[in-house]
Each structure stands twice: as C-alpha cells, then as structure tokens.
Structure 1
Amino acid sequence: MTALSGIRVIEIGTLIAAPFAARLMAEFGAEVIKIESLGQGDPLRKWRKLHEGTSLWWYLQSRNKKSLALNLKSAEGIAIVKQLAESADVLIENLRPGALEKLGLGWDVLHALNPKLTLVRISGYGQTGPYRDRPGFGAIGEAMGGVRYTTGDPQSPPARMGVSLGDSLASMHAVMGALMSLLRVKTGQGDGQVVDVSLVESVFNVMESLVPEYAMLGHVRERSGGALPGIAPSNTYPTADGGYVVIAGNSDPIFKRLMIAIGRPDLGENPAFAHNDGRVAECEQLDRAISEWSIRLPIDAVLDTLEKAEVPAGRIYSVEDIVSDPHYQARDMILDAQLPGGAAVKMPGIVPKLSATPGTVNWQGPSLGQHTQAVLGELGLDESAIQRLKNEGVVQ
C-alpha cells in the first residue's frame, strides 16, 4: 500500500510543471493517466540528453505514468477525457488560461460531471489578473518572482540556476494544493475545487522576508554571490587544493565553535559578535578570517575539522560526487533502473521518505500511447471500437 493508492489523476500537460507534479503523485501510488498529443507526444521526449532518440529526462519525469495518446481536437477525444474525469480525483493541467475552456473542459463542465474532482491549474501568472493571458515559462517565473534578481555575483548580471527551479516550485505547490483539496473531499468536508498555481507566485512564495524588508525599511536585497545576505557567517570559502566549501556558522553557539576551530577564539568571545545582527555588520571581517584559515588546508581537512567542531559545512557537489556519495546510496537516492531495450541507467530516488507508505518506482516513462488500449478498455470500449478510434485519428 502506498500513500496515494486508489487516487486517479488525469494529466493534461507538457514539459515540466504539470508533468513533474503528476510524477510526484505517481511515485506515491496515484494512478496517473497522461494524455499526450498524437504523433510526437510531450516535447519533453526530445529535451536534453537522448538515449536512442528518447530523452533520459522523459524516463524520469514520466515514471509510473500511463500514456494515453489522444486527439483533443476531436469531439470523441474530448468525450474520452470527460469519461475519465467522471472517475478521477484530480486533473492537472498547465495549458494557457482559457485553453481548457476552449476544449470544452472548463471548470463548470468538469465540476458538473464530477463534483468531487479537484482541478489543478498551473500557468505563468495564474487564472486571473492583468497578466493571465501572457505566456509564461519557469524562467519568467524566476525572473518576476524575485529569485533571479538576488542570484549571482554583485558585479555581474543576474544569474540563473542550472535547473528549472520555477517549474519545480510550481509543481510542489500544485501537489500541496491537490492534497489539501483531496483531504477536504475525502473527509466529507466538501466538493472538489480549483487549485490555481502561478509560476511567478510559486517563486515569490520562497523569497523569505524580501517584501517586509523593503516595505518597512526601504531595503532592496541585491545579489550577494555565495553569501547568505543578512545572516553571518554563511558563505563559500576557498581551500588549499582549489576547492570550495560552504560553511554555515550562523547561529550564536555554532559561531563560537567555528571561531575556536579556525583558531580565532577572540572573535568568538567578542561581545559585538554575540548575535547575528552584530556579525552581519562586520561580515566582511569574519569572512576574511575564515578564508585565511580555509585557504591553508585541503578541503578534506577543512571538512574534518568542522565536523569535529559540529559546524555545518559541505563541499559543493557535482553530479559525479552525488552518484558516488555513500550517504546518497544509503538513503536509496540513487536507484538502478532499466530502459526499454535493457540499457542500465541510474535514476534519482524518491522524496520524501515515508515510513509506512513509501513511494515506489514501478516503471520508467512509457512509450507514446503505450497504455491507450488498456485505458480505453477500462472505459468499456471493445477492440473494434478502439480500432475505429485509431483509424479515425482519435487515439494512437
């Protein structure tokens, strides 16, 4: 038994935000039926690095999902979606606002078909407001949500992270909203509802005290490189062998232990540095003292010293470091998988870890339309009816 066993999810989405949200639910036992367009299916099938013509990201992003290749421009295709919605718990989509309505699948239609259905809608700016009709990708969410402005070196243009952070944050908010709505339905407190998730707002929601600092103090948080602004000491420091280590000595007792470890107990006992506000005022002095210590030692010696002093610290991992790390392996965060044709591959494990109902990986991302016949069969269509739909270009 997994946490979401018995929950049926319909996914009408492409690329990242809606598919990642559906993947998270699929990993914990939800039956996810992914509706893909005929021909090429989800464009993610061709994104990033490919293996024998299919994206490795696809195999991860769509694991545990069923692929139903369906022509949503046909009346019969829409009728199939409606029939699926009647027995579904959640429908997740990331079309442009209004697109679902143009298909004849707006909230009024879906709610009438199944009052218990939760509709999760992910878009660039949300379903309302003056920007609702603008196209929006995760990168735009990061830009307008505030994180891009605060990321990078102070002397350089704003930087982006090497992953689609905006999309992933929206996905997690979408799952959170879906589960809240499901809890309401399953406990008999009410019907399903619309979960309206904006890429911009999902990024904005993790921006900590950005707004009150500006509204009350006129403070605009700027780019700070490897440092954590307003909290000290917390930065990236060089080591003798050309490496870098992240050190977070930013609570009062940890700071004192850190100063003893680097041979500067005088700083640790200085009353001016007893609390964070005093340390922030002199963060450059503290960073300089830590760097002068760390640059004299290889990274392993730095980390060993700080571990013994119970100071949070870590090297900056590449993917090579991650895959070979014994802690990742002990936590089942690097899984051995097999692709169609038998090729062996490693995949990320499942987060979070649940003690009683853990998530599982049952299969990697399916081929286009792999489950079309099975899904339609469950709807009561016999082989001749399915063949007719294939011949008419409704399904693949």
Structure 2
Amino acid sequence: MEHDVGVNKLQQLHLGASNSVTSEQISPLLTNQIEGSQDIQHLQDTNKELPKLLDYASYLIHLAVFGILGVLTRYTLDKLFGPSVGHVTSDQTILYLDLPSNMVGSFLMGWFGVVFKEDISNVSEHLAVALTTGYLGSLTTFSGWNQKMLQLSVTGNWLYVVLGYLIGLFLVAFSIIFGIETAKGFRWFLRRRNTSASETSRHKIKANVKSFKNHLIVMVVLLLILGLLWCVSGVLVISEFKNDENSFLWIGCIVGPLGVWIRWLLAPLNRHGLGSTCFLNWIPFGTLIANVSAACIMAALATTKIYVNTRDCDTIIKGIQFGLLGCLSTVSTFVAEFNEMRESMHPWRAYVYYVITICSSFFLGILIFCIPIWRLDDRLHNFDN
C-alpha cells in the first residue's frame, strides 16, 4: 500500500540506506527468473541511487505531477456522474459527488497498491509512490465525503448521514476487493504467457528505469510537465476568475500538490504507535491525522464561506477545499488499510479504525460547521420575527 512505500523510502532517505539489486524480487510482469551472472552484474551497474537531496526532490516532483492528474480525474468523474451529466450523484442524497472517484480510486488501489505494488517498485519506487500516494490518493478524498455528510446533518437528514457512511464504506471496500481479485486474475494470465519468454524478459530488465541516467531524464521531464501544469492553471485562474464557475479547479491544481506532500510526510507515522512502547501501532496514525485534519479544515472553510458569502471568497475556498484538502485526505489508502486489517488475525481492528476515523471527523465537524450554521439560522429567524 502507498503508506508502506512512503515509509520505507523515507527511512532510506534519512538513514542513507541503499537497496541491493540482488535481493529484489523480480516482477512476474518482467520475467520468471534471471539467468546468468551477467544480467545480475548489469543491474548492479545501472541501478545507482540518486543523491539524497536529488532523490527527495524527485519524489516531490513525482507526487506533484500525479497529484494534479488525480485532481483533474476526480473533477472529471464528479462532472460525469453528477447532476449536470449522469444525474447519479448529488449533494442532497447519500450518493455524494465524490463517490464515483472514491470507488474508482479504491478499485485501482487493489491493482497498483496491493497486487502489483512490489512489481511497480521493482521498476521504479518513485513511480510506485507517484501512482499510489500521488494519483490514487488525490483521486479519492475523505474530507469531501465527510463534508457532504455534515451538510446533510445541517438539514436534519440524520438517516441519510448514517446510510451515507455505511453505504460509502461498503462500496469502496467492495471496490478494492474487486480490484484485488481482477488484478490477481490478470497476474495469472501474464504468468501463463511469460512461461517461455525469458530472453525477452531479460531484455526488458536491462531497460530498468532505476539507472542514474534514466532517473535524471524522468525527473527533468516531470519537472517540465509540472511547470507547464502550474503555468496553464495560473493563466486560467487569472483569465477566468471572475466569470468562470470552474475556475476553482485551476486553484485546486495549483495548491493540490501541497496536500500530497503533507500526506506523504505523515506516512512515517503509520505503524509507529504512541510513545516509546509503540502503543496502538496497528493504527495508521499518519493516514488518520491526514484525514481528520483535512475534514476539520474543510468544515472550517465551509463555515467561513457561508459567513463571508462573496463570489471571490467562494471560488478561492472551493479551490482550496477541492485541491489542497482533497489531496491531503484519502479514501484509497484508508480502505486499503481497512481491508488489510479485516484480513488479518484481528479483523475487529478494521472496524475500530473505521469508527475512530468517522466519529472523530464527524463530531469535530459538528462543532466546527453545524453548530455555527444552526446558530446563524436561529439569529436570522429571530431577526425576521
């Protein structure tokens, strides 16, 4: 899962450790086995790590580019299934706007964050982190899910709130299970096809992107793409801020990478536990902090938007909510952790983790969002009388 990849790499960055090529498990996507010492030696010669600072910068660039792509994909799915096109999701029902993106992201997490995680890491650890933490983490959003339930609670639709949390969990949990099972089937199919392709496979291994030169090439290309995405987003924000209802998207693309970076930096807290005894180390505190904090900030900004009630404020806040907080919180990692706990020796931990995340986010949201709105409505009602 994405937090495991992030934790391992952060530890390598801080401790200065380097991976041994001979100890890696070669992906079944590439070959069934490595024959001969020449191939091993070739891999050892080309698999050189980047300097620490450059390697760290490469991770940040990968995360930023794929995070923006995740934001754009989430926006597309919201529009496709939302009231303007598909009429499947809306703000007034338990099928909230971000549900399709959360389901798609959870399904893809079953592929790239569970079944093929190690295979992708063997090709490029930067790519593995970019796909899971960057793309899938930004494609899915927990803060958006929680905020829609808070909005339903403001209007007194408490049954919708309960069903929204329960059905939402069921759908994303089923999505990752379906993704895992289909990925396993695809892996089996690839292994059947690759049983007699060892020569071709060894050639593919020699093209491994872990070489120092290829690291730099990929890093420079992604840096150019990131600069282009930010420049285009900035131009569109300036030109369409006053008259385009979708200008919040371009603000989200600008600030979205910051949310991805913060969530990646919080990843080492997963499996760490509390105190020197590592108490409750089975709780992924990094993901928990990211989701709950994003949900609280989302609620605070929603309250501010209602109190200020201007077009410019609405656009800026909506862009921050959609980009920064949408990328800071994640459902794909959350449901992957939930599924891992559910299949462990202690399946009850999955439901405790779910309840802690939902209850803390929702009740803090009640204090931050619902109570101020209720008080505002009471004052307006008394003023009218």
After TM superposition, is the score higher than 0.5? Answer: no
Normalising by structure 2, we get a TM-score of 0.26
Higher relative contact order (CA 8 A, sep 6+): 2
- Structure number having the greater helix percentage: 2
- Structure number having the greater strand percentage: 1
Normalising by structure 1, we get a TM-score of 0.25
